[in-house]
Amino acid sequence: MADLYSNVSVNSSFDLDLRNGSRKKMPFPSTINEVTKWLAVGILVGILVFNSTILILLIRKKQNSRMAFFVQNLAIADFCVGLIYLLPEVIIFRFHIGWTKYACYVLYGVKMFPIYVSTFAIVTLTLDRLYVILRPLSSSARGAKYRVSLIMTTWILAMLLSIPYMVCVRFNNGKCGHDFDKKVKFLHAYLKFN
């Protein structure tokens, strides 16, 4: 039985001696990194292309329904996620391009804003659908001012919640990140849950 597991090979490129745990050659994990790198690029392109398509279709048809308005806002928010959040992640982390000081401050400063907007846009769409189901007659009387105020609240709330991320960006030795002290952590937790 020990001879059966003495040398394991996956496509002849990942050999491993299981008796003493030493690796002989290891190009297999780099293949996984290449696959995930190009998979991330494919996901990014898909997000940008499909959300652009939705926006173009909604704008071209000029639908004035409540649902079209909220879906258009959600498509804009998801397009921002792809452009502002995923694009720098794919370029910098998957292709191993280093941070510059200004890119760090700009990209890490606005990084969480599209995530919040996208999440709140889904919640706003859901709450509007709930309101239409619970009160169908009074919901039809609400005009465009109601829809615009819901969307503006979504974007303003997302901006307020992303302010601590904009303020606490730190760039040190080529590494970029957020450095929250206790006051900002408390303020962010307070704003998030109240």
How is 137-187 classified by DSSP, letter by letter? HHHHH--HHHHHHHHHHHHHHHHHHHHHHHH-EEEETTEEEE---HHHHHH
Specify the pLDDT at position 87.
84
Residue 32 to residue 123: CA distance in whole angstroms: 36
Q: Given a cut of 70, is residue 18 above it in pLDDT?
A: no
User: Which residue shows structure tokens 């790198």?
Assistant: 37
* pLDDT band of 1, cuts 50, 70, 90: very low
* pLDDT band of 157, cuts 50, 70, 90: very high
The amino acid present at 56, given as its one-letter code, is I
Q: Given a cut of 50, is residue 14 above it in pLDDT?
A: no
Tokens at 114, concatenated? 């599209």
